[in-house]
């Protein structure tokens, strides 16, 4: 099977862009399964008009222009490929590609990557987005051979935005190639408790709510908690720092900045547990990374982890400060269970959130989409 992915970016792992990280897993493991995955990237910051970028197990053909580069290559590949996979929403280039694929009767799949959740629609330019979707983008979804939802919860939400009857659920994963996951070993009973979040410090991630939750903790817990915020923070840091100072949390929060590769691994490994306070998400790659290191977690229900709650790997909370604080207190009081929760987190990644399992499911869905369009 020949698969073409079209993305904005170059599928780098050293980025806060979750979609680019996802593409790396999809392409590498599709190739490992005997398929041929082509990745066409559009990067306006790239100086060269074309660059062939070597990644782990696949290549990215990266262009700095759409009409004079990426689109031409997609049209060439579309003649011989079996299916095209488009990613994300609010992307005019996707509309152009989808229209061309419909014209030549080539099946394509679209993944919204949580871009159509209610809170993200309302985050900015709400009415513009509603009009854009119903005037232009909805047809792309309606005409797709399949629409991939990353969680069951997202599949329900997507049905509000498309008449497509082939919405299927295949989650994201982690690259476990040659890696044996081990649970975290908790040594001693240190008073200091390190918790952390990784990702963009953006509105939908609810960092304000997390900071407010720390302020609500009992003093005997709060004095021992250090929150590590890992991610790009140039835009939001000044505003967040003002809130932190107002709440007297200067000694409780560390801005680590954007970390990648070993640096990210080292900080995550130093945590006692992970916290994901998002208003909306689709089983974040960050959550999977934390669990792969054996970290128990506190995760909001709106991060779409509900169907995995029985795993026992995390505590589930609502995305408001009071309930996030309740979850942190519960996790601190469950200190004796951290080791068993760590093992359950590792089990969840091994059994569910790994690309070997995920891509096998996705390839079956691709085959179904190809047959559906014939």
Same-domain check for residues 124 and 230:
no
CATH number at residue 261: 3.40.50.2000
Number of Cβ atoms within 10 Å of the Cβ of 18 = 18
On whether both 159 and 204 belong to a single domain, the answer is: no
Closest by CA to 354, choosing from 128, 126, 181, 156, is 181
Tell me if residue 38 falls in helix, strand or coil.
strand
Distance CA(301)–CA(185), nearest Å, equals 27
Structure pTM? 0.93
Q: Is the pLDDT of residue 96 over 90?
A: yes
Show the DSSP H helices in the chain as ranges.
18-32, 71-78, 92-103, 118-123, 126-132, 138-142, 152-158, 207-215, 219-222, 237-246, 261-269, 285-292, 321-333, 338-351, 355-373
Sheet holding 58-63, edge to edge: 50-55, 58-63, 36-42, 2-8, 83-87, 108-111, 146-149, 167-169
Domain extent, residue 84, equals 2-173+354-373
- Sequence-distant (≥ 6) Cβ neighbours of residue 55 within 8 angstroms: 11, 24, 27, 28, 39
- Eight-state DSSP code of residue 306: G
> Do 208 and 339 belong together in one domain?
yes
- The reply to whether 145 and 113 lie within a common domain is yes
pLDDT, averaged across the chain: 95
pLDDT of residue 272: 97
User: Please, which pLDDT band fits residue 311 given cuts at 50, 70 and 90?
Assistant: very high
Do 156 and 286 share a structural domain? no
Lowest mean pLDDT: which of 18-32, 67-81, 187-201? 187-201
Q: How confident is the model at residue 230 (pLDDT cuts 50, 70, 90)?
A: very high
Tokens of 24: 């790396």
- Domains: count for the chain: 2
Q: Please, which residues have CB within 8 angstroms of residue 362's CB and are 6 or more apart in sequence?
A: 26, 30, 148, 170
Whether 367 shows a pLDDT value over 70: the answer reads yes
Residues 285 and 309 in one domain: yes
């Amino acid at each position: 099977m020949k698969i073409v992915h079209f993305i904005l970016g170059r599928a780098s792992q050293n980025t806060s862009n979750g979609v680019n990280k996802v593409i790396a897993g999809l392409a590498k493991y599709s190739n490992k399964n005997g398929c041929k995955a082509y990745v066409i990237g559009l990067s306006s910051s790239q100086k060269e008009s074309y660059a062939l970028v070597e990644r782990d197990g696949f290549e990215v053909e990266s262009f700095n222009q759409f009409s004079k580069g990426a689109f031409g290559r997609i049209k060439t590949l579309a003649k011989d490929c079996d299916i095209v996979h488009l990613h994300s929403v609010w992307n005019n280039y996707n509309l152009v590609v989808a229209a061309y694929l419909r014209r030549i009767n080539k099946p394509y799949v679209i993944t919204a990557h949580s871009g159509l959740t209610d809170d993200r629609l309302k985050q900015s330019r709400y009415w513009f987005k509603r009009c854009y979707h119903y005037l232009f983008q909805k047809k792309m979804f309606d005409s797709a051979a399949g629409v991939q939802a990353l969680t069951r919860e997202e599949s329900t939400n997507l049905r509000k935005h498309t008449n497509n009857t082939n919405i299927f659920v295949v989650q994201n994963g982690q690259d476990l190639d040659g890696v044996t996951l081990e649970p975290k070993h908790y040594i001693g009973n240190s008073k200091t408790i390190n918790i952390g979040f990784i990702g963009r410090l953006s509105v939908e991630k609810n960092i304000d709510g997390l900071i407010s939750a720390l302020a609500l903790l009992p003093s005997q817990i709060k004095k021992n908690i250090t929150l590590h915020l890992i991610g790009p923070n140039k835009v939001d840091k000044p505003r967040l720092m003002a809130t932190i100072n107002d709440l007297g949390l200067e000694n409780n929060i560390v801005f680590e900045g954007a970390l990648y590769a070993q640096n990210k691994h080292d900080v995550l490994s130093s945590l006692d547990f992970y916290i994901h306070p998002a208003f909306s998400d689709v089983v974040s790659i960050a959550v999977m990374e934390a669990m792969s290191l054996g970290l128990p977690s506190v995760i909001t229900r709106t991060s779409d982890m509900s169907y995995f709650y029985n795993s026992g790997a995390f505590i589930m909370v609502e995305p408001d400060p009071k309930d996030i604080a309740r979850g942190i207190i519960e996790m601190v009081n469950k200190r004796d269970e951290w080791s068993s929760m760590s093992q359950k987190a590792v089990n969840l990644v091994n059994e569910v959130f790994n690309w070997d399992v995920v891509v096998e499911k996705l390839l079956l869905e691709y085959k179904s989409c190809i047959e559906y369009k014939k």
